[in-house]
Amino acid sequence: MYEIPKIAVSIVLHLSNDESIPGSVWITEDLLSVNGTPLLEDFLNEEDDSFFSFRSDAGAFRLINKDHIIFIETEQDDTEVKSTTPFAPSTMVAHFANAQTLYGVVYPTLAEETRVSDFLNQPLQFLVLYRQEKKIVFNRDLVVYANAN
C-alpha cells in the first residue's frame, strides 16, 4: 500500500464557537518552506476539502470545518520570514465576527502587499500574521474590520 509521507504540526485551534483546542494536523512534505517549515496556510488555502483531520491533545480525532476557524496558533517563529522579505512589516489588529481580537505584525512578501489593505485583499482565505514573534494563521473571511498602523 502506498502512503504519502506527512509531518505532524502542533497547533492550537481557535474556533468560531469560542472553543480553543490544542492538537496536531498532518501536512505533506510538499508543503514545506525552503527551510523545512510546514506551511499550514498553504495547506488550508490549497486543499479543496471543507474539512480536515485534527487530533486533539486529549486524543480525540475530529474533522474540522475550515470555515469556522478564527485563527490557529503555531509554534513557528518569524525568523524565516524576516530573512526573506525586503519590506518593512506593518502592525494590524483584526476584529472577528465572534468578538475575538488578534493583534500582530504582517510581513509583506511582494511590493503589492506593503499596505495592510493590500494584504487583506489577497484572494486567499487564510493569511499569516505574527504575534510576539509566533506565527498565527487567521481566517480572513471572518474578519469584520482591521486597524492598521
pLDDT of residue 112: 77
Burial class (CB in 10 A: 0-12, 13-18, 19+), 6: middle
The domain boundary residue, chosen from 25, 58, 75: 75
pLDDT of residue 47: 67
The domain boundary residue, chosen from 75, 95, 129: 75
The answer to whether position 137 is within a domain reads yes
pLDDT of residue 17: 94
> Do 46 and 60 belong to one domain?
yes
- The whole-angstrom separation of Cα 21 and Cα 32 is 24
Number of domains observed in the structure of the chain: 2
pLDDT of residue 113: 76
Count of beta carbons in the 10 Å neighbourhood of residue 54: 17
**Enclosing domain of residue 24:** 6-75
pLDDT of residue 62: 95
- CATH code assigned at 14: 2.30.30.100
pLDDT of residue 20: 95
The answer to whether position 38 is within a domain reads yes
For residue 121, the one-letter residue type is N
Task: Quick: pLDDT tens for 6-45.
Answer: 889 999 999 999 999 999 999 888 777 777 788 899 999 9
DSSP secondary structure code for residue 123 in this structure: S
Low pLDDT (below 50) residues in the chain: none
> Do 70 and 28 belong to one domain?
yes
